[in-house]
Structures are given as structure tokens and as C-alpha cells.
């Protein structure tokens, strides 16, 4: 069982489609993250929300648009993606109360995205 829930598990979309990935956590964590992971590579940070505000955007193309409706939910809106965007998209959360609080990441099971 995972405490961070992601939907859908798998998604196939064309380059002209618009779709959304969803993430939910009920651990009371105040930081939520989107990572992109290619096969056998480490996760790459895309976005960080802290207390529902976007705090980090790692120069991600505008075809990826994050949204944090509340402290438990995180969405990633996808539009006009390219085949090279095919990857595992991982959501994570952490307590992250202060900068020096050692707070591990809790990952969801991810959404396997294929862009055709």
C-alpha cells in the first residue's frame, strides 16, 4: 500500500491531446512534488509546491502545467506533448516544515505515460 495515490496508472495520449495526472496524499504533508523518470535513471525534479504555492519550477516546458488545488491534491496538466515526454511521472510528498528538517520523500506508484 502507498500513502501517496496517483491516477491513472497508465496513460496513452496523442500529441494533440489534453490530459491530467492526479495525486493525493493524506499524511498532512505540506510539500508536494512532480518528478519525471526515464527507465533505469534517477527521478528528475520538475515542480515543488510548498504550502500550496509553487516554490520550484525546474525549467520545465510550458506543455506541463502543475496545479495544487489544496494541501492534499496535486495535478499535472498535459498538453501538446512530444514522444520524448514518454516516461514514468512520480508524485511525492514530504513534511518539509523547515529547511533543516530532514524530511524523506514519499513517492506514489507513478503514472506510466506514453505519447504517440
Partner 1 sequence: GENVEQHPSTLSVQEGDSAVIKCTYSDSASNYFPWYKQELGKRPQLIIDIRSNVGEKKDQRIAVTLNKTAKHFSLHITETQPEDSAVYFCAASLRGSARQLTFGSGTQLTVLP
Distance, in Å, from the CA atom of 57 to the CA atom of 61, rounded to the nearest integer, reads: 10
The reply on whether position 101 binds partner 1 by CB under 8 A is: yes
The reply on whether position 59 binds partner 1 by CB under 8 A is: no
- Do residues 4 and 24 make contact, with C-beta atoms less than 8 angstroms apart? yes
Distance, in Å, from the CA atom of 91 to the CA atom of 41, rounded to the nearest integer, reads: 16
The reply on whether position 66 binds partner 1 by CB under 8 A is: no
The residue within the footprint of partner 1, chosen from 8, 27, 55, 82 (CB under 8 A), is 55
The residue within the footprint of partner 1, chosen from 46, 78, 90, 115 (CB under 8 A), is 90
The residue within the footprint of partner 1, chosen from 5, 19, 45, 73 (CB under 8 A), is 45
The reply on whether position 108 binds partner 1 by CB under 8 A is: yes
What's 46-58 look like in SS3?
EEEEECCEEEEEC
Q: Concatenate the DSSP letters of all residues of 6-35 into one string.
A: EE-SEEEE-TT-EEEEEEEE-S--SEEEEE
Stretch that binds partner 1, among 18-26, 61-69, 77-85, 107-115 (CB under 8 A): 107-115
Q: Which parts of this chain interact with partner 1 (CB under 8 A)? A: 2, 31, 33, 40-43, 45, 48, 50, 55-56, 90, 94, 96, 99-110
Amino acid at each position: 500500500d502507498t500513502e501517496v495515490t496517483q491516477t491513472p496508472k497508465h496513460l496513452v495520449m496523442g500529441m494533440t491531446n489534453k490530459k491530467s495526472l492526479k495525486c493525493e496524499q493524506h499524511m498532512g504533508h505540506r510539500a508536494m512534488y512532480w518528478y519525471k523518470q526515464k527507465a533505469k535513471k534517477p527521478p528528475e525534479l520538475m515542480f515543488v509546491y510548498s504550502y500550496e504555492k509553487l516554490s520550484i519550477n525546474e525549467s520545465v516546458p510550458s506543455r506541463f502545467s502543475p496545479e495544487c488545488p489544496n494541501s492534499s491534491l496535486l495535478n499535472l496538466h498535459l498538453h501538446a506533448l512530444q514522444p520524448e515526454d514518454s516516461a514514468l511521472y512520480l508524485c511525492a510528498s514530504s513534511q518539509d516544515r523547515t529547511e533543516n528538517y530532514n524530511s524523506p520523500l514519499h513517492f506514489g506508484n507513478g503514472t506510466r505515460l506514453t505519447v504517440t
